[in-house]
Structure 1
């Protein structure tokens, strides 16, 4: 049996300002999420970006070509209804943050880790008031409760759209500090991505490029950059 695919049924996508934000419309009819909730966006730029995705569809709708739409749907249908659970899951990354765990060797890898992660730990200590313990090895160690509480407070202060972006940034990078630094725009987003995969890059320098792993890394990088772009668009009101 041939797989069913949604076909384009509208001529033009547009946006309209409504109570609570901006909505995307198809031939004047409001778009709804997969859970049938109104697709209300916090600002015009994000609404315009989503409308452009709908306008760019051909005869057959390709959801994979609509990343802003998918992230907005996730924010409304999945993150908002279970905000506390999602926020707690993300905040828990601070207990075993990638930046805290250093290799016991070789020295070249330790130097690369320090170059990438020391600045993030310093930023957490100075700007966030959340110093974290740095250790050698992979055995988890308790982190200062005051620091974890400050990081948790920042996560819980976000709105569902920002939390959606942070969820992806943290899950892809393995680091709450990397995710928060991306939202704060404290470091260049490209640098944050590279810093999150220091170990992988080092192994590649030793053993050569694995094509399957390289393809996966490119996919993750695209998702990481998209999450940051989604967050930026969701911050602009008009």
Structure 2
């Protein structure tokens, strides 16, 4: 598709309770795929969306508008049924990557303990919960009160933050990693959380060598994780 606009600006749109921000292309507000006005909750997220449109050349590359796609998803899908999205994420908490360790006599277990245990303990302390650690592959359920607390946490998120958390959770196979990245203090690096979630992949690469295609896939997933984290955090600023 050829670029059909010259000017990209950001408009402030008063809503029923809060002010929203909408990208304007030659003064016309961007809409979602579903036809709704693409209103986002913060100026920071609005500016990030506007930057995507400004970077387009003579032809529009849809693949270079990932934040636009995430905003569409948040408005058209997540906002209409956040309870179902949250329930799907709780399923990840039941089998969170950071809770499943190798057998204690395996060398991998020591690295998992060193990297994952501080993250998991800090997450438990922050949320006042207890998570069950498992050695091996046999499933053990998490405490119902833990899942209820996490469910409540998810339902307090706006659709944009929830969309970002959903994307991060699926990429990392870890709700703990996603929520920790969302709540990380300024200056803390979400990349370190992503790398922790990929510990087993890195372990296998060190043992058996690196496969170029696998490394490229992981790099794409890393970029997607960091982008989703940025999207979610911008929605809260």
**Aligning the two structures, in what range does the TM-score lie when normalised by the shorter sequence?**
over 0.9
Pairs aligned (count): 231
8 A Cα contact 1:41 1:72, kept in partner: yes
With normalisation by structure 1, the TM-score equals 0.93
- CA shift at 1:214, angstroms? 0.4
Counterpart of 1:190? Answer: 191
Would you identify which runs of 4 or more consecutive aligned residues in structure 1 move more than 6 Å?
none
Alignment pair present for 1:14 and 2:14: no
Counterpart of 1:61? Answer: 60
Measured in 1, the distance between the counterparts of 2:123 and 2:43 equals 32
Measured in 1, the distance between the counterparts of 2:10 and 2:189 equals 31
Q: Which stretch of structure 1 is more off in the superposition, 17-26 or 101-110? A: 101-110
8 A Cα contact 2:104 2:135, kept in partner: no
Counterpart of 2:48? Answer: 49
Indicate the RMSD between aligned Cα atoms, in angstroms: 1.3
Measured in 2, the distance between the counterparts of 1:218 and 1:178 equals 17
Structure 2, unaligned runs of 5 or more: none
8 A Cα contact 1:124 1:131, kept in partner: no
- CA shift at 1:36, angstroms? 0.7
Counterpart of 1:3? Answer: none
Measured in 1, the distance between the counterparts of 2:119 and 2:150 equals 13
**Deviation by residue 1:32-56 (Cα, 9 ceiling, x = unmatched):** 0111100101011111111111121
Alignment pair present for 1:230 and 2:225: no
8 A Cα contact 2:104 2:110, kept in partner: no
With normalisation by structure 2, the TM-score equals 0.94
- CA shift at 1:25, angstroms? 0.6
- CA shift at 1:117, angstroms? 1.1
Q: Which stretch of structure 1 is more off in the superposition, 48-57 or 28-37? A: 48-57
Counterpart of 2:174? Answer: 175
Measured in 1, the distance between the counterparts of 2:55 and 2:120 equals 42
Counterpart of 2:106? Answer: 107
1:1-40 equivalence runs, <5 A: 6-20=1-15, 21-40=20-39
- CA shift at 1:105, angstroms? 6.0
Measured in 2, the distance between the counterparts of 1:102 and 1:192 equals 17
